[in-house]
């Protein structure tokens, strides 16, 4: 038998004497972190607002002490342990004045034996955290500095790198008990770990359960293992194994005949099973373990071909075209992240057509809830090991910490069928080649031993069912440049940093693991994060919430290349958001037109961790930017795009569905007034997961100042413009509107009397909680569109409904 009791109540946190703010035993949230506690106590300003972040730089340079008391009733247990699922980061744990253990890794779990230290009645638990900067800088001084993309010592501590700030995130490098803590009591034996290795052999599901036990007594015990269907509880495989006295490990093999498969979204239904392990002594259950698993195969096909080296992810033997997004921690203050927030974000990803989430290496190994939700939704997950944009020392204590961290998370995440790949690092192999590291490093270690030695060994040893790739990007061999576009995975950042987004078409990649373009957040989020008066693109707080190097200049260069001059902040906000959406639309449409040569695109990035100008499609207040709507279009299973081919133009039709696409596609050639001057109909029959390329006849290709667009079909509208908006002879936007009630909100119908280019309705300007069903709509005269706005507030207000139909709420590029 066992007992597990959470210890989340009654905590306080105390700061070092002499800190800029006196902190004496204020209430502390567990799980949580110190910055949120200071904010809740009213001792600091909200770091997400204006420039308040800069006033919290001292927090990560101070020690902090967490304390609580709990009552304990003595019982005849063989083992009693404190179990911490996450301590951030360098901590000393004491019970009743006795040190029980020390930690130096945010990314692993810890257990401490406290059986002989507990008292009947009140017990005092203390966790003292050393300042992360104190520890990291001491390690840096001891081992010698190493290159980092940021002037911070985050590569000298096993803590989320983005805690020290990033080009989209704040520096809030605090401390805290950031994941649950429990008191666990047990008799005779308990389960230390279970690693389920799930595979398929000739249609039979195989579950090998590697069980590790913690014993307190030399006695024979039994393992009872089973696999059951969660829908009805039917047991489809079971086995019992006697584990003799003195043995601490056991392996149990279960076979499931003709199991239902777990499939990624867009590739069929998925079935999950309950796997369980029970430890028994006679009829007494000592401990148990249960997780959901799924039967599927996964392989990464990177065998060289005539063009270089592909990067094909195959699930159940079928290549999946990756429609991906990069994921960062969804909040800078990790204690605010709960299962409901994660589910909202992942469902937003699914609604945008996403089938793959890359968990980026500068963050964390995500929570159990994250992977469980991905399992249910059919989202594939690629998990980076936690190294990003820096050279990492391999000397002790780091080598041992990295090994323990990897072993722990490989075992913890093994049950999840959504998790399909492990990657060694983010951009560190690229950094060693191109970022002037080699001269600075000399003969000092920088992480290669992890990426090419330790980590692949551990993935094979602990997991054994998922592929490993040394880095993102990586070309498949150390003899090649790691970002060679004809070989495996690449990151494309010259476009944002140096060149206009039309230059995505200069690349011919096999797989794009990162590429992105910036824009500010939604209006409601801007007004939450800054209170500048006047509010301008370069007002002080707006610039503080722009962390990218020369970010505002790059945004302006993009506007200058494509759009008319901005007249005010409203124009700037709308134009930059449209430009972000257009950049990513162009890139993804082009990459998808290359399939199967190109096998996927992973947008940087899905989400934000605070309100900021960034590459995200969903801003830090959970609101959808226009980019999200563009992703929904270009990640559709069936879509059409016009692509240049020398002096000609092709129509590329992509069918990423499981059914043949058969039908007629119509498109129009229009002049700048939107008058249709040519029509074409194309009869198409495209096999599942296939692409067709049609070369347009010269007469169908628009001339200077004309444009193409497909009809109002059952796929997202495709367009092709011969000039940039700044050079097009658009007439000023003319339209009529109607507003009508619908359940939970209103419907706004816009009737086009001229061309309306990238029409958007920004209802969050009237109600921060309003949600609109579409954006970036291009119409020609005579067409109409209906925007559905979910907002009880707007539905109840005739004044707000009137405001829906004009600027700055309703916008078109040519308004």
Q: Residue 396: enclosing H or E segment and its boundaries?
A: none
Which of 585, 564, 587, 569 minimizes the C-alpha distance to 520?
Answer: 569
In degrees and rounded to multiples of 5, residue 674 shows phi and psi of 90, 5
- The tens digit of pLDDT for each residue in 517-536 reads 999 999 999 999 999 999 99
Which of 601, 415, 586 minimizes the C-alpha distance to 492?
Answer: 601
Give the Cα-Cα-Cα angle 607, 533, 42 (nearest 5 degrees).
65
Which of 327, 762, 813 minimizes the C-alpha distance to 525?
Answer: 762
Q: Who contacts 453 (Cβ-Cβ below 8 Å, separation ≥6)?
A: none
Q: What CATH number is attached to the domain comprising 775?
A: 2.60.40
Check if the beta carbon of residue 612 is closer than 8 Å to that of residue 542: no
Is there a single domain that holds both residue 117 and residue 222? no
Residue 302 within any structural domain of the chain:
no
In this predicted structure, the answer to whether residue 653 has a pLDDT above a threshold of 90 is yes
Is there a single domain that holds both residue 156 and residue 208? no
pLDDT at 800: 98
Check if the beta carbon of residue 12 is closer than 8 Å to that of residue 26: yes
Residue 696 within any structural domain of the chain:
yes
| Centroid of chain to Cα 462 | 24
pLDDT at 295: 98
Residue 270 within any structural domain of the chain:
yes
- The tens digit of pLDDT for each residue in 587-606 reads 999 999 999 999 999 999 99
Q: Who contacts 456 (Cβ-Cβ below 8 Å, separation ≥6)?
A: 424, 468, 470
Check if the beta carbon of residue 620 is closer than 8 Å to that of residue 612: yes
Check if the beta carbon of residue 4 is closer than 8 Å to that of residue 182: yes
Percent of the chain with pLDDT over 70: 100
Pairing between β-strand 419-423 and β-strand 380-384 as defined by DSSP bridges = parallel
Q: What CATH number is attached to the domain comprising 245?
A: 2.60.40.10
Is there a single domain that holds both residue 396 and residue 534? yes
User: Judging by beta carbons within 10 Å of its beta carbon (0-12, 13-18, 19+), is residue 41 exposed, middle or buried?
Assistant: middle
Q: Who contacts 642 (Cβ-Cβ below 8 Å, separation ≥6)?
A: 649, 650, 651, 652, 696, 708, 718, 719, 720
Is there a single domain that holds both residue 746 and residue 798? yes
pLDDT at 74: 86
Residue 420 within any structural domain of the chain:
yes
Distance (Å, whole) CA 476 – CA 460: 18
Pairing between β-strand 12-15 and β-strand 26-27 as defined by DSSP bridges = antiparallel
Verify cis geometry, omega within 30 degrees of 0, for the bond prior to 70: no
The SS3 of residue 428 is helix
In this predicted structure, the answer to whether residue 162 has a pLDDT above a threshold of 80 is yes
pLDDT band at 431; cut points 50, 70, 90: very high
b/e sequence 2-28, b meaning 16+ C-beta within 10 Å: beeeebeeebbbbbeeeeeeebeebeb
Check if the beta carbon of residue 654 is closer than 8 Å to that of residue 595: yes
Distance (Å, whole) CA 140 – CA 362: 19
In degrees and rounded to multiples of 5, residue 79 shows phi and psi of -145, 135
Domains: count for the chain? 5
pLDDT band at 234; cut points 50, 70, 90: very high
Distance (Å, whole) CA 254 – CA 211: 13
pTM: 0.97
- The tens digit of pLDDT for each residue in 680-692 reads 999 989 999 999 9
Distance (Å, whole) CA 87 – CA 669: 61
Distance (Å, whole) CA 391 – CA 428: 7
The CA R_g of the chain, rounded to the nearest whole Å, is: 28
Distance (Å, whole) CA 521 – CA 538: 15
Distance (Å, whole) CA 633 – CA 17: 56
What is the residue-wise DSSP string for 668-708? EEE-TT--EEEEEEEEEEE-TTEEEEEEPPGGGS--TT-EE
Q: What CATH number is attached to the domain comprising 154?
A: 2.60.120.260
Q: What CATH number is attached to the domain comprising 545?
A: 3.20.20.80
Write down which residue in 293, 320, 355 finishes a domain. Answer: 293
Distance (Å, whole) CA 685 – CA 402: 52
pLDDT at 320: 98
Residue 560 within any structural domain of the chain:
yes
Residue 726 within any structural domain of the chain:
no
What is residue 166's DSSP assignment? E
- The tens digit of pLDDT for each residue in 324-370 reads 999 999 999 999 999 999 999 999 999 999 999 999 999 999 999 99
pLDDT at 219: 85
pLDDT band at 231; cut points 50, 70, 90: confident
- The tens digit of pLDDT for each residue in 242-279 reads 999 889 999 999 999 999 999 999 999 999 999 999 99
Distance (Å, whole) CA 353 – CA 43: 43
What is residue 389's DSSP assignment? S
Which of 688, 681, 636, 680 minimizes the C-alpha distance to 663?
Answer: 681
Per the structure, the complete domain to which residue 744 belongs is given by 735-811
Write down which residue in 634, 663, 694 finishes a domain. Answer: 634
How are the residues of the chain apportioned to helix, strand and coil, as percentages rounded to the nearest 5?
25, 35, 40
Average of per-residue pLDDT across 748-768: 98
Average of per-residue pLDDT across 430-459: 96
pLDDT at 257: 96
Is there a single domain that holds both residue 707 and residue 787? no
Residue 729 within any structural domain of the chain:
no
Check if the beta carbon of residue 514 is closer than 8 Å to that of residue 326: yes
- Copy the structure tokens of residue 97: 């004045």
Cβ-based neighbour number of residue 792 at 10 Å: 12
- Paired with 811 in beta bridges are 760
Is there a single domain that holds both residue 195 and residue 159? no
pLDDT band at 217; cut points 50, 70, 90: confident
Distance (Å, whole) CA 653 – CA 186: 61
Average of per-residue pLDDT across 39-53: 98
Distance (Å, whole) CA 803 – CA 756: 19
Is there a single domain that holds both residue 18 and residue 150? yes
- The tens digit of pLDDT for each residue in 132-153 reads 999 999 999 999 999 999 999 9
The SS3 of residue 582 is helix
Mean pLDDT of the chain: 97
pLDDT at 216: 86
Which of 200, 286, 274 minimizes the C-alpha distance to 237?
Answer: 274
Of the listed ranges 173-187, 267-281, 407-421, 699-713, the least confidently predicted one is 699-713
- The tens digit of pLDDT for each residue in 611-636 reads 999 999 999 999 999 999 999 999 99
Is there a single domain that holds both residue 528 and residue 583? yes
Residue 580 within any structural domain of the chain:
yes
pLDDT at 762: 98
pLDDT band at 18; cut points 50, 70, 90: confident
- The tens digit of pLDDT for each residue in 668-682 reads 999 999 999 999 999
- The tens digit of pLDDT for each residue in 101-141 reads 999 999 999 999 999 999 999 999 999 999 999 999 999 99
Average of per-residue pLDDT across 395-421: 98
In this predicted structure, the answer to whether residue 712 has a pLDDT above a threshold of 90 is no
Is there a single domain that holds both residue 774 and residue 790? yes
Check if the beta carbon of residue 175 is closer than 8 Å to that of residue 104: no
What's the first-to-final CA gap in the chain, in angstroms? 71
Is there a single domain that holds both residue 12 and residue 106? yes
Is there a single domain that holds both residue 478 and residue 511? yes
- Copy the structure tokens of residue 240: 């019992």
In this predicted structure, the answer to whether residue 444 has a pLDDT above a threshold of 90 is yes
pLDDT at 713: 78
Q: Who contacts 42 (Cβ-Cβ below 8 Å, separation ≥6)?
A: none
Percent of the chain with pLDDT over 90: 96
Write down which residue in 615, 634, 653 finishes a domain. Answer: 634
- The tens digit of pLDDT for each residue in 316-325 reads 999 999 999 9
pLDDT band at 714; cut points 50, 70, 90: confident
b/e sequence 491-512, b meaning 16+ C-beta within 10 Å: bbeebbeeeebbebeebebbbb
pLDDT band at 211; cut points 50, 70, 90: very high
Check if the beta carbon of residue 575 is closer than 8 Å to that of residue 624: no
What is the residue-wise DSSP string for 733-798? P-EEEEEEEETTEEEEEEEESS-EEEEEE-GGGT-TT-EES---EEE-TT-EEEEEEE-HHHHT-H
In this predicted structure, the answer to whether residue 289 has a pLDDT above a threshold of 80 is yes
Is there a single domain that holds both residue 195 and residue 93? no
């Amino acid at each position: 038998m066992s007992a597990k009791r959470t210890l989340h109540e009654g905590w306080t946190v105390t700061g070092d004497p002499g800190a800029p703010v006196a902190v004496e035993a204020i209430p502390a949230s567990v799980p949580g972190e110190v910055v949120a506690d200071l904010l809740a106590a009213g001792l600091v300003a909200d770091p997400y607002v204006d420039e308040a972040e800069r006033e919290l730089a001292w927090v990560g340079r101070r020690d902090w002490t967490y304390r609580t008391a709990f009552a304990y009733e003595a019982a005849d247990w063989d083992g009693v342990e404190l179990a911490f699922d996450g301590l951030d980061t360098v901590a000393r744990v004491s019970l009743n004045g006795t040190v029980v253990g020390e930690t130096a890794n945010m990314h692993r779990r810890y257990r401490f034996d406290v059986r002989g230290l507990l008292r009947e009645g009140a017990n005092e638990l203390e966790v003292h955290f050393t300042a992360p900067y104190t520890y990291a800088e001491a390690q840096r001084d001891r081992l010698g500095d190493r290159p980092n993309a940021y002037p911070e010592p985050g590569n000298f501590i096993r803590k989320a790198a983005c805690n020290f700030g990033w080009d989209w995130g704040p520096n809030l490098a605090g401390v805290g008990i950031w994941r649950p803590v429990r008191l666990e009591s047990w008799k005779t034996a308990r389960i230390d770990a279970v690693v389920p290795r799930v595979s398929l052999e000739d249609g039979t599901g195989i579950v090998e359960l590697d069980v590790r036990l913690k014993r307190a007594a030399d006695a024979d015990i039994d393992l009872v293992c089973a696999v059951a269907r969660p829908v009805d509880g039917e047991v489809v495989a079971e086995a019992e194994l006697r584990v003799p006295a003195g043995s601490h490990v056991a392996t149990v093999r279960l076979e499931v005949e003709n199991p239902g498969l777990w499939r990624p979204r867009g590739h069929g239904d998925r079935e999950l099973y309950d796997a369980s392990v029970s430890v028994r002594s006679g009829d007494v259950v000592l401990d148990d373990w249960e997780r959901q698993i799924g039967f599927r195969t996964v392989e990464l096909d990177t065998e060289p071909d005539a063009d270089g080296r592909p990067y094909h992810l195959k699930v159940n033997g079928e290549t999946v075209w990756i429609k991906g997004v990069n994921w960062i921690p969804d909040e800078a203050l990790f204690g605010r992240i709960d299962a409901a927030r994660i589910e909202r974000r992942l469902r937003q990803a699914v609604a945008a057509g996403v089938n793959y989430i890359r968990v980026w290496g500068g963050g964390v190994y995500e929570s159990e809830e994250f992977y469980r939700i991905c399992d249910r939704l059919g989202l594939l997950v690629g998990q980076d090991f936690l190294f990003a944009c820096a050279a990492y020392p391999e000397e002790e204590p780091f080598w041992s910490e990295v090994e323990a961290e990897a072993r722990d998370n490989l075992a913890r995440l093994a049950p999840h069928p959504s998790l399909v790949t492990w990657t060694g690092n983010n951009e560190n192999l690229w950094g060693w080649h191109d970022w002037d590291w080699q001269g600075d490093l000399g003969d000092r270690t920088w992480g290669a031993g992890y990426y090419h030695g330790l980590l692949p060994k551990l993935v094979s040893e602990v997991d054994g069912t998922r592929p490993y790739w040394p880095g993102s990007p990586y070309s498949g061999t150390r003899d090649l440049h790691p970002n060679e576009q004809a070989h495996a995975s690449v990151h494309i950042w010259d476009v944002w940093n140096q060149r206009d987004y039309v230059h995505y078409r200069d690349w011919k990649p096999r797989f794009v693991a990162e590429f992105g373009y910036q824009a500010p957040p939604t209006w409601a989020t801007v007004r939450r994060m800054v209170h500048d008066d006047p509010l301008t693109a370069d007002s002080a707080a707006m610039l503080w919430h722009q962390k990218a190097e020369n970010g505002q200049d790059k945004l302006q260069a993009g506007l200058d290349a494509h759009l008319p001059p901005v007249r005010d902040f409203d124009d700037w906000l709308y134009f930059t958001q449209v430009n972000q959406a257009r950049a990513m639309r162009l890139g993804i449409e082009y990459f998808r037109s290359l399939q199967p040569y190109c096998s996927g695109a992973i947008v940087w990035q899905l989400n934000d961790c605070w309100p900021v100008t960034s590459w995200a499609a969903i801003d830090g207040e959970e609101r959808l930017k226009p980019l999200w709507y563009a992703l929904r279009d270009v990640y559709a299973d069936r879509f059409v795009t016009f692509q240049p081919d020398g002096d000609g133009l092709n129509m590329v039709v992509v069918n990423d569905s499981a059914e043949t696409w058969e039908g007629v596609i119509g498109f129009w050639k229009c002049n700048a007034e939107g008058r249709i001057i040519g029509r074409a109909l194309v009869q198409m029959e495209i096999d599942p997961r296939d692409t067709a390329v049609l070369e347009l006849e010269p007469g169908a290709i628009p001339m200077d100042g004309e444009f193409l667009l497909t009809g109002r079909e059952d796929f997202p509208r495709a367009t092709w413009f011969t000039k940039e908006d700044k050079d097009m002879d658009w007439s000023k936007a003319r339209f009529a509107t109607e507003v009508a009630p619908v359940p939970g909100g209103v419907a706004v119908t816009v009737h086009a009397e001229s061309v309306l280019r990238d029409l958007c309705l920004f209802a969050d300007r009237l109600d921060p909680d309003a949600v609109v069903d579409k954006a970036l709509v291009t119409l020609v005269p005579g067409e109409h569109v209906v925007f559905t706005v979910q907002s009880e507030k707007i539905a109840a207000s005739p004044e707000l409904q009137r405001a829906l139909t004009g600027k700055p709420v309703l916008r078109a590029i040519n308004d």
